[in-house]
Amino acid sequence: MPLSNYLNTTPILGDRVYLHPSCQVIGDVKIGNDSSVWCNTVLRGDVNRIVIGRGSNVQDLSMGHVSHKTADKPDGSPLIIGDHVTVGHSVILHGCTIGNDCLIGMGSIIMDDVVIPDCVMVGAGSLISPGKTLESGMLYMGRPAKAVRALTEDEIKYLRYSAEHYMRVKDNYLSGTN
């Protein structure tokens, strides 16, 4: 398994989690039930924690990291990903918080202390600047990203569909029927 301890921390996996053999999950990382981490992804919880909720997926070549704790910032910047989140290919997540039912588009960068609430779509290639708090139900795009418009009802439904699709795919891998 692609798991590594760091000092006194060990990754913790929920039930039915799929880790592709090429990914790296290091240190203080907790992954919830039915989540998946795909090809060549790195989740490095060495100087702070990473928490991924239920039914979320972190796709190929993505990187998740954190910022350490300091006297000025005693909690540092952990990486928190909610339930039913789709993190697209080649995304960088650094010390941010992502709510439930979100989609982070391919190649996006989400910086320290960003807060993304539930039901947000971040368009491919977007950059969310440090410390920014987004608004629920919106599509964000650009570098730096800006709110483009409210999500449609169908797009909001798609957020959950995307995560559920990856749950089915990871179940195929777990059962050996891929």
State which residues form the domain around 138: 3-175
Q: Can you tell me the mean pLDDT for 78-103?
A: 98
Q: What is the pLDDT of residue 52?
A: 99
pLDDT tens sequence across 108-133: 999 999 999 999 999 999 999 999 99
1 pLDDT band, cuts 50/70/90, is low
pLDDT tens sequence across 40-86: 999 999 999 999 999 999 999 999 999 999 999 999 999 999 999 99
pLDDT tens sequence across 127-162: 999 999 999 999 999 999 999 999 999 999 999 999
Using alpha carbons, list the distances in angstroms from residue 58 to 68, 69, 99, 101: 22, 25, 14, 13
pTM over 0.95: yes
Q: What is the pLDDT of residue 177?
A: 73
d(CA 126, CA 154) in angstroms, rounded, equals: 22
Q: Can you tell me the mean pLDDT for 156-174?
A: 97
Pairing of the two strands 24-31 and 12-13: parallel
pLDDT tens sequence across 5-31: 999 999 999 999 999 999 999 999 999
Q: What is the pLDDT of residue 176?
A: 85
pLDDT tens sequence across 80-90: 999 999 999 99
Q: How many domains, in total, are found in the chain? A: 1
d(CA 31, CA 53) in angstroms, rounded, equals: 6
Using alpha carbons, list the distances in angstroms from residue 45 to 11, 24, 73, 147, 151: 9, 10, 17, 30, 32
The CATH number covering residue 61 comes to: 2.160.10.10
